[in-house]
Chain A
Amino acid sequence: MTITVSLTDVAGYLPGEPVPAEFFTRCPGADQRLRRSVMFAAPPYRHHVAPGDTNVDLIERAVAPLMRRHGAAEIRRVDVLLVHCQLPDLPFVGAGTEVARRLGLAPRWLLDVSNGGCASFVSMIELAAHLLRTTDARTALVCNAQTVAGQVFTQPAVRRLAQAAVPGDGCGVGYLTTSAAAPLLAVATRHIGEYAGDMTLACDSDRRYFEPGLDPMRIGFTEASIGRVFARGNRLVPEQVAEVCREVGVGPSAIDVLVTNQPNRAFLRNWREALQLPPERHLDTFEECGNLFGAAIPVTLDRGIRSGAVRPGDLVVLAGFAHAGDYAAAAAVRWGG
């Protein structure tokens, strides 16, 4: 008798007022190279964390609606807390225990997850579900905080690069329970070692990121690597979605709502085309939020639920790939509402 695990609810939070694309495209010395490429075409808006905002601040604000909807006491009782921060505020300690302290949680299982990248919401769901099915844990909170955009990509020397205008900050959280409220039907995940290490951080000098220097950190995109990562991403997400559909026993055409990570418009277009889904069934928040990295899936799903785009009974598939393709994942949920 397998215990049914549900993705009972999700919530999202976006910091501050929308930042228009001009913040980047009109900044002094803005580099227009690559900006016309679909990989780096700037969305009209994105959100940036305020100076001093931490991952824990974002998670606290994202969890607030869950506490309102389910009761603070209920959320404080979670047995499992999983946290993924795209940009850790502190090395060594992770953010999980600070989240527990701030929210008043006392989880039996607490993990800071540093892999899974843009698909880490799915990897955390899979791990949380495993813990809920195989231990006496009954509820879980999974958190994705993304604070790279307003911190790394606003640095003067980085802000002028085409890559800087694409990311956005935000936070999404999911609440899982052992119930049949919104059953998790299947998960299909793959770690792909051969693509590990292809996403790099770059500085102009050869200093380590923690060593002092004046040259800012950025993502090490090269033109050659863009083509490779593009082809990989094109393939990986539809493959995982098809795989999770096979496990559910339906074809991709049965998907009512697809929610993916959103590195750029081209991936969104290609994944939808590959799965032959109409645009209205593939939700995204790219135009308003840019690339939310790991927070994209829960933030977009939350928005879809609140707007009525996700209806009770819908087959919802969450999917994405990480970094330069080192992980790809998809999960299927029968939405409860």
Chain B
Amino acid sequence: MLADVPGLIRVENTAPEDMLARCLELTHSVYPHDQVYGRFCTVQEYVDCPPEQVYDYLRHGHHLQEWTYSVRDFAPAGEPGLWVGRDRLAERTPIYCRVLANADAMTVDYHCAWDQGERLWMIYLMRVVPAALVLDRPGSVITWTNCRHPYYDHNPRPDLAPRPDRPWVGDYWDLFYAGHGIELANLKSILEYRHANGLPVSVPPTVAAPR
């Protein structure tokens, strides 16, 4: 029974003018960074490149080596679909990654972790939306969300760190909005440059994928 759920605001119990009043009350000029990006961090961008090509580019994980700031040198990690590379944000840090993509929804999720590949908890959720639908223009909208998994605040396997004083990825959480914004700008620049110049958007991997 919906009536048993406390605190619902629905037109049946709240007149439109009260809804408006409530919304005005909740609308500020500025919001503390932590309130907006403390638990979830979403960045989004318009890209002048067809959505199918953007999706295809994102779906191939080796492209992370182009548009991310520091993920490099991917190679097969020994089990199907699992890759291991280096995150050069921190010295001698392996990053494991598995790509889960859905062509119908054009979602591409990178399931990652530092130091180990058994539990991929650091998950980058990306979605490509045809801009024709949402902005009435050609091209794509990309959204990218990270959720603050408890491991960001607490390294579950400190024993695997290459050195005791190696910074932990979660130490950077408060900079994710800025950092991911910069990486998304990289992504936009690459896609738009190749598309505008009639070049293939995707490029072959430098390391052959295992068959």
Contacts and interface: CB of A to CB of B under 8 A. Distances in A.
B21 A231 contact: no
B1 interface: no
Contacts of B28: 234, 269-270, 273-274
B30 A266 contact: no
Contact of B29 (A37, A39, A271): A271
Contact of A33 (B15, B23, B30): B15
Contacts, number: 49
A39 B28 CA distance: 13
A23 interface: no
A274 B29 CA distance: 6
A71 interface: no
A232 B158 CA distance: 49
B159 interface: no
B22 to A, nearest CB: 8
A298 interface: no
B33 to A, nearest CB: 12
Interface string A257-291: 00000000010011101100000000000000000
B28 to A, nearest CB: 5
A133 interface: no
Nearest to A223: B20
Interface in A135-154: none
Contacts of B18: 36
A274 B28 CA distance: 8
Given A234-B29, A238-B29, A273-B29, A223 B24 contact: no
A33 B21 CA distance: 9
B197 interface: no
A34 interface: yes
Contacts of A273: 28-30
Contact of B30 (A37, A227, A230, A274): A274
Given A38-B24, A230-B24, A266-B24, A33 B17 contact: yes
A234 B17 contact: no
A223 B18 CA distance: 11
Contacts of B24: 37-39, 226-227, 230, 266
Contacts of A76: none
A223 B30 CA distance: 23
B15 A38 contact: no
A38 B29 CA distance: 14
A38 B25 contact: yes
Contacts of A34: 17, 20-21
A231 B27 contact: yes
B25 A266 contact: yes
A269 B174 CA distance: 26
Contacts of B17: 33-34, 36-37, 223
B162 interface: no
Nearest to A235: B29
A231 B26 CA distance: 12
A123 B170 CA distance: 50
B167 interface: no
Interface string B26-52: 011110000000000000000000000
Contacts of A269: 28
A227 B20 contact: yes
A226 B25 CA distance: 12
B27 A226 contact: no
Nearest to B17: A33
B150 interface: no
A226 B29 contact: no
A238 B30 CA distance: 10
Contacts of A235: 29
A269 B29 CA distance: 9
Interface in A32-57: 33-34, 36-39
A226 B20 contact: yes
Contacts of B30: 238, 270, 273-274
A25 to B, nearest CB: 15
B16 interface: yes
Nearest to B18: A36
A234 B20 contact: no
Interface of A: 33-34, 36-39, 223, 226-227, 230-231, 234-235, 238, 266, 269-271, 273-274
6 contacts: A33-B17, A34-B17, A36-B21, A38-B21, A231-B27, A270-B27
Given A38-B21, A270-B30, A274-B30, 13 more contacts: A34-B17, A36-B18, A37-B17, A37-B20, A37-B21, A226-B20, A226-B24, A234-B28, A238-B29, A270-B27, A271-B29, A273-B28, A273-B30
Nearest 6 A/B pairs, CB to CB: A37-B21, A274-B29, A270-B29, A234-B29, A33-B17, A36-B21
